[in-house]
Amino acid sequence: MEVPLDAGRIVAPGVPHLSIDTSDHPLKGTSRPFPPDVQPAADYRGAVPVTLHRSEVRSMDPLTLYAILRLRVDVFVVEQRAAYPDLDGRDAEPGAELLWAADGDEVLATLRILREPDGALRVGRVATAPAARSRGVASMLMRVALERCAALDPTAPVVLDAQAHLAGWYARFGFEVAGAGFDEDGIPHVPMRRTA
C-alpha cells in the first residue's frame, strides 16, 4: 500500500498508534510503499504509541544516543548481570546503523545492524525495555530491521547470536540455528542465520 509521508511521519493505517519518523528521510513529502509485514505481532496486547527510527551514530541527537545506550546497559549489564563492554566500537563503524522504537523521547526497544567482513549483515544488541515487552514492539522493530537488511544487500545472509531461550522468537523471523551453542558472559547463546 502507498502511505503518504505527512509532517515527517508515516502513519500505518490499521495499526494503533504506529508511525515511523521520517523527518530526515530523503523522500520527505512524497509517498513510498509501507512494508506490508510491519504489523503488530500476534501477541500484541495493547496500543503503545510507537515511532520507529534509524540512524548512524554520527548523525544522532546525543540525548537519543544516550537513551539507547542506557537501555542496553539497563537490560544487558544490570538486569541480566552480564558485565561486558557494551561500547565495543562497532556502533561507530562505517555503515553501522542503530534502529529504535520510541514513545516520545522514551526508547522502548533498540537494535543495531552491522556489516561483517564476510559480507553478512549482523543484527545485534536487541534490547527491549521491560514495560514494552510482550506488546509487539520488538517484533515490529525486528521486521523493519530485516527489511532494512534486504534494502542494504538483498543477497546477504543476516546473522545474529541469540540468547538460547530466545531462539524460538528469532525463528519466527526466519532465523535458523547455525552452529553449536556457546556461553557469553554466563548466558547460553546460539549462532543463528537467515538466508536471503
> Dmax over Cα atoms in the chain, in whole Å?
48
Fold of 2-109+125-153: Aminopeptidase (3.40.630)
Query: pTM value?
Result: 0.76
Percentage of the chain surpassing pLDDT 90?
69
What pLDDT shows up at residue 2? 32
Query: Which run of H or E residues covers position 188?
Result: strand 187-194
Q: What is the pLDDT averaged over residues 140-146?
A: 97
Q: Which residue has the higher pLDDT, 118 or 30?
A: 118
What pLDDT shows up at residue 21? 46
56-115 pLDDT, tens per residue? 999 999 999 999 999 999 999 999 998 888 899 999 999 999 999 999 999 999 999 999
Q: Which of 25, 21, 26, 30 is nearest to 3 (CA)?
A: 30
Strand pairing category for 50-55 and 18-21: parallel
CB 73 within 8 A of CB 86: yes
